[in-house]
């Protein structure tokens, strides 16, 4: 997960397939980490069972009391073994949890960056759509003027193209209406 993902751009932001593939990769990695955690927990259960078995043997040896020296060694060995197993299991569990936390933090940061980029792309699209809408309204007005001139004079007064100012602020106007232009026969 050390690689920073990059997504191809598309009309509405990032390429959906790239983003979905990245999310699948993140989910696969999460499943792998959960599997490792489950395995560590399973090993911890095995160690606990082994400790219980050793404690049973220790209790049997203590009840026997024929050989005090054997009982003392068995107790010492069992304690050492159980302490070592518990320490090992705790270290493995801590390592897995730390790795999972680091991965989650990295993924959270990457998701924040992707979200910010998507919001910026969305703002750019909204601006572009406002500009297109303004140009459409200006074109609509020109067509209405043209249609009026044709109705009044039978032909347009000047066939020159109208000037459209691309730097105009967005107009607060309703959604565009359908315009029907009829040809006048001469």
pLDDT digits (tens, 9 = 90+) for 94-144: 888 888 888 878 878 877 888 888 788 888 888 888 888 999 888 898 888
Rounded Cα distance, 127 and 24, in Å: 32
Does a structural domain hold residue 135? Answer: no
Does a structural domain hold residue 160? Answer: no
Q: Say how many domains are in the chain.
A: 1
Does a structural domain hold residue 186? Answer: no
- Report long-range pairs for 107-113 (Cβ below 8 Å, ≥24 apart): 107/1, 107/26, 110/4, 110/5
Task: Give the range of the structural domain holding residue 106, as residue numbers without chain letter.
Answer: 9-124
Q: Which residue has the higher pLDDT, 164 or 38?
A: 38
Q: How far is CA 178 from CA 135, 138, 173, in A?
A: 15, 14, 14
CA 32 centroid distance within chain: 17
**What stretches of 46-131 adopt beta strand conformation (E)?**
none
């Amino acid at each position: 997960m050390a690689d920073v993902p990059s997504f191809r751009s598309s009309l509405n932001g990032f390429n959906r397939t790239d983003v979905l593939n990245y999310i699948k990769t993140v989910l696969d990695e999460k499943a792998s980490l959960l599997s490792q955690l489950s395995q560590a927990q399973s090993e911890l259960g095995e160690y606990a069972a082994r400790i219980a078995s050793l404690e049973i043997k220790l209790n049997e040896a203590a009840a026997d009391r024929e050989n005090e020296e054997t009982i003392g060694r068995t107790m010492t060995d069992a304690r050492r073994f159980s302490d070592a197993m518990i320490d090992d299991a705790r270290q493995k569990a801590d390592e897995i949890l730390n790795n999972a936390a680091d991965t989650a933090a990295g993924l959270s940061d990457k998701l924040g960056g992707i979200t910010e980029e998507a919001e910026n792309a969305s703002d750019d699209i909204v601006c572009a759509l406002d500009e297109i809408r303004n140009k459409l309204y200006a074109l609509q007005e020109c067509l209405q003027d043209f249609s009026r001139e044709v109705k009044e004079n039978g032909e347009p007064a000047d066939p020159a193209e109208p000037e459209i100012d691309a730097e105009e602020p967005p107009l607060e106007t309703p959604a565009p209406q359908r315009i029907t232009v009829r040809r006048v026969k001469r």
